[in-house]
Structure 1
Amino acid sequence: MPATTIAYQGAPGANSDLACRSVFPEMTSLPCASFEDAFAAVHEGRARLAMIPVENSVAGRVADIHHLLPRGGLHIIGEHYQRVVHCLVAPKGATMEGLREVHSHIQALSQCRTYLRDRGLVPVSHADTAGAAADVAKWNDPGIAAIASDLAAEIYGLTILARGIEDAAHNTTRFLVLAKEPVTPPVGSDTVTSLLFRVRSVPAALYKALGGFATNGVNITKLESYLVDGRFVAAQFYADVEGHPNERPLQLAMEELNFFAREVNVLGVYPAHPFRRAANQQEGQD
């Protein structure tokens, strides 16, 4: 049933699949070969929502996502922070001593870089974590393992040789929940607004564009730049800001942004995940 289906990139058992099951346990998760396919599943009515990873606390930004978001035609309606626990999984009977190489998504490999290097294991990039687990099960070579979730190990009948092999204990991935139509939370709630904009390649252009956020007390929690169409003359910026567009502070900040920037595009207005508040409280204590 499309109305109760959520799409994600990867094979069954991927961390995106885990995120879907965690946030929407009543929905059926739909595996897709690529991020573009997950977007298409929503556009074509095969799924109501899509769960897309955008950044990781260890590996940083997920490649291509911020290029897909403005072109994808979907709206951000929520966010989710998923603690990532990587497992070293291998065919039954395999041992640590016999391993030669480890397959997984490039993000997972980078998140476990120290663990692999210390054990002399050769990392091999794969399309996704669960797909790597499926291939390791198919090859049934005791010298080849995968980095994947415990769910993937269960699905593909693999043995977990080690659990929690990520290099950082804070390893967390932020996901965005996307839909065909916007779902705007009420004014006064704890809200995040995500937007894209461009500035001219002139001195102080970004400073002037963002000045309204500072003068109106709007907190920018994320700001990233990247080139547009491979050109070096102008940059496009992705920003997450705290607040609702219908609240006065953000209204004024957006007015100033629209005056100094070009092609301002609001990608979504959605409830802030509780992880944000907990992280802010922890930072205040530190």
Structure 2
Amino acid sequence: MTYRTLINIESKRAELLGKEKEAIKILTLELSGLNGAEFYSAYDEEIGEEKETIIQEAINRYLVDNIPVQYILGYSYFFGYPFDVDENVLIPRPETEELVSYVLAEYDHYFSGEEVTVVDIGTGSGAIAITLAKEEPLMKVYATDISQPALVVAKKNAQKLGAEVEFIAGDLLQPLIVRELKFDILVSNPPYIPKKEEVQSIVKDNEPHIALFGGETGLYFYEQILANAHKILKPKNIIAFEHSYSQKKEMLTIAAKYFPQGKARVIQDMFGKDRIMIIVNDDKDD
């Protein structure tokens, strides 16, 4: 069987099962052992029995067992970097890449050329923290997570990608407060799905609930972080969050509650949905 034939057959099967056809192409490409150019050059060539079996088994895990493509492969690309992922960490999303881009842009605007300390709260796979450390050498990056298994994955990713990040186990800001650490930038993509909100089965059945659900309203972790953020932030600071597209008003209300002098704004993601909040506090803020 050729790659073209396999993809056509399995894409139709995916469509019948209500699954994403693009996942079939991704699995086939990634497991072919070929780069993009080589893959499309070999599109009409016979796959080979052993390789075809490996690809077919992976496709069945996605179509039949409802396992996310990234968990099947064991990695996910984020900002161009391959991050190891497993069932202990959330799969990085494109929207979170935008969060990282905005943090880098805000750094350039407010701290350009300065050494700064940055903390990623609830780091998971380490995608945000590691990417910031890789992209901006002047950032000294810390990252926290309450999940020890998640920190194992994050540390492995930092080592693999050659990033210097200090990982600290603990609940939200608590381990930072205890250590009396101070930061210029706080970034977080905390769990923000409301407890009773309907979630796709492929997400709910595979990704860690501790990284998905944010209490009854989805706002619990933002409230906890912002209520205590003053304890770990320097007078001039930037706070950046990813949040639910339906919570713009609520996020601005929480920001005004804890940082009334701060400049808070919500930015739309690539899909036109309210997704990222930036709060800037300058030296004159309380």
- For normalisation by structure 2, the TM-score amounts to 0.24
- Structure with the larger RCO, 1 or 2 (CA within 8 Å, 6+ apart): 1
Q: Which has the higher helix share?
A: 2
Select the structure that is richer in strand.
1
TM-score (norm 1): 0.24
